[in-house]
Structure 1
Amino acid sequence: MEMADPLVEALRALVEREGGRHAVARKIGVNEQSLYQILRGIPLPSGKPRGVGAKLREKLNVAYPGWIDASRPKMPLPEIRDALPVVLDAIAACPHRDELRTLLALLVDHDAPAYRQRLAELLSSFDPRGPNLTTEDKALAARVTKAAQMAESFDVAGVMKQPVKNK
């Protein structure tokens, strides 16, 4: 099963919200047929699927700031007080101490997506609590993993994340 392109899905949601592809095309100054072909999945002559390229993405960003974020499904994220014990247990049991120590220092200074991804790999490569995870712990871990995967899919597509605002 092929995964849907998150940018095409965001464009689809925008077109639906804004009253159709004609309205969106007019506002961003592109041919309506370009949007039609992307949304219908009509392949390029090379056979590759059409997508939301850099130029189109820039026009959409100018005309519809936040258009990508508005299309993301709202997933309940775990509270820090719920997630932190799970993460701390994983850190305490991690056999890759030297790499973990270096990685955590890099994350504090740089917060790069690649460092976050590697930390997630290290901490999820084993089960710090053994086979006796509660159903609640498993559900929390699944939600954290799903949220991280969604965030990473947008990074891979070259989309800038919006800065997180502190409350």
Structure 2
Amino acid sequence: MTEHTGSRVIVVGVDGSKASRAALRWAVEQAHVLDTQVVAVHAWEPAAAFAPYAPVSERPTTAEQRERAAELLATTVRAAFGARVDPRVRALLVEGPPVRVLLQRARGALLLALGRAPHSQWELPAVGPVGRECLRRSAVPVVMVPASDPGEVPSETAQAPDRIRSGAA
């Protein structure tokens, strides 16, 4: 069964970057205008390959990897909004490849918002591979939000959102 998020939401891809925090803030502004909700989605995959000579104690379990992914999502939401996380925001942790997860969760949504890194001095592309694939394959509009200035990050410390849910893609 293919699960999607719904038609009256804005889906935001969250990877912990400054650009994804900017995308979250932009999406909440739009959600207020459109009277809708924001679903902050972090896709994670268990690391499958470790060097055969790596000590077993150094290999994180799948549960530990899921916990780290949930913490990254919670930390990114806190960093984007400070102490006051907008009640329109729901954080969602989903296991699976980022492109597949984002496209499935955005199916039927108002739009998909992704962060875009600033252009670099070495002429590297500002849109990464996940963003490029989402732009190519999405059935809903995709908005690429540029990374914000460092001064825009709230200075207040927030509490972890209690609405993080794990899901299977």
Q: Identify the TM-score tier after normalising by the shorter chain.
A: under 0.3
| Normalised TM-score (structure 1) | 0.27
| Normalised TM-score (structure 2) | 0.27
Give the number of the structure with larger relative contact order, counting CA–CA contacts within 8 Å between residues 6 or more apart. 2
Higher helix share: 1
Higher strand share: 2
